[in-house]
Amino acid sequence: MSPAAPTDWQAWHEPYADPTSPLSRRLAVVQRHVGTWLEARGGAPARVLSLCAGDGRDLLGVLRDRGDHDDVDATLVELDAGLVTTARATAATLATARVRVLEGDAALVDLWAEYVPADLVLLCGVLGNISDADVERTLATLPELCAVGATVVWTRSRRHPDLTPAIRKSLSGNGFAEVAFEAPDDVLFSVGVHRYAGTPRPVRRGRRLFTFTT
Ligand SMILES: C[S@@+](CC[C@H](N)C(=O)[O-])C[C@H]1O[C@@H](n2cnc3c(N)ncnc32)[C@H](O)[C@@H]1O
């Protein structure tokens, strides 16, 4: 059997053009939580880290639509050069937020280690594309990415076998308190929001967190 063709991640973004698609509905949930986080920080300086950011619309779309992002310092990490170009173009339209879009492998801690701890971590479209062992490793490493009280927004399909119960349990075991878990009945996506209630840990460099299997 020949190996499966690699996913075309630019084409993966196409359903965003349809506002009724599950992907657009998922985006709306993620953006709502990003907006809530922005409001709650009340203008205080804040760092954001988005791994496997795609074209960055979950964060950049919210920043673009709101004016209260003067002190947001965001790092987006994305492997696909075309999506990096799109994200950078969107970032350039933002008046005040400082956004860097790093082109490279987000699984490599060294690429973004200097930009953590972050106050908001986005793990959207990641946990469903890596092995269960890599999910566990990534979740166990989150305390190294998070500042005190940081928020993590993550997504994962509930396609069988549904890993979301294990993800929520693991986050709890790693010092996170669940803020929200949204899993509409008529779709497979889910969006989780967790707040880091533990003590931040120094980031361990020289590591790989995951490998995409798709
Ligand atoms: C499922 S999409 C999610 C995109 C975006 N976070 C969203 O939710 O709209 C996965 C993204 O991860 C990117 N990607 C895949 N492997 C990666 C890696 N090792 N490092 C960084 N980005 C990666 C793909 O190019 C793609 O844009």
Cα-to-centroid distance, 148 and ligand 1 (Å):
26
Query: What percent of the chain stands above pLDDT 70?
Result: 98
- Cβ atoms of 48 and 72 closer than 8 Å: yes
Residue 67 has pLDDT above 80, yes or no: no
- Candidate ranges 4-18, 54-68, 143-157; pick with highest mean pLDDT: 143-157
| Rounded Cα distance, 53 and 99, in Å | 12
Q: What is the mean pLDDT of residues 142-164?
A: 98
| Rounded Cα distance, 211 and 156, in Å | 16
* Interval 161-192: pLDDT, tens: 999 999 999 999 999 999 999 999 999 999 99
Q: Which residues line ligand 1 (CB under 6 A)?
A: 9, 12, 52-54, 58, 77-80, 83, 105-107, 124-125, 212
The overall longest dimension of the chain from CA atoms, in Å, is 55
Give the pLDDT band (50/70/90) at residue 3. Answer: low
For the CA of 210, the nearest atom of ligand 1: 19
Residue whose token pair is 């009724």: 20
Residue whose token pair is 């492998």: 105
pLDDT at 206: 98
Which amino acid appears at position 180 of this protein?
A
- Cβ atoms of 53 and 59 closer than 8 Å: yes
Give the pLDDT band (50/70/90) at residue 204. Answer: very high
Give the pLDDT band (50/70/90) at residue 66. Answer: confident
Q: What is the mean pLDDT of residues 91-111?
A: 93
What are the strands, taking DSSP E only, across the chain? Answer: 46-51, 72-78, 98-103, 118-123, 146-157, 176-182, 189-196
> To test ligand 1's pocket by mutation, which of 9, 59, 213 has the most ligand atoms within 8 angstroms of CB?
9
pLDDT at 2: 56
- Name which of 117, 131, 121, 145 is nearest 194 in CA terms: 121
Give the pLDDT band (50/70/90) at residue 70. Answer: confident
Q: Where is 109: in which H helix or E strand?
A: helix 109-112
| Rounded Cα distance, 62 and 102, in Å | 20
pLDDT at 147: 98
Residues whose CB is less than 8 angstroms from the CB of residue 86 and which lie 6 or more positions away in sequence, other chains included:
55, 56
- Cβ atoms of 128 and 157 closer than 8 Å: yes
Domains in the chain (CATH in brackets) are: 17-196 (3.40.50.150)
Residue whose token pair is 């400082």: 98
- Name which of 203, 200, 50 is nearest 114 in CA terms: 203
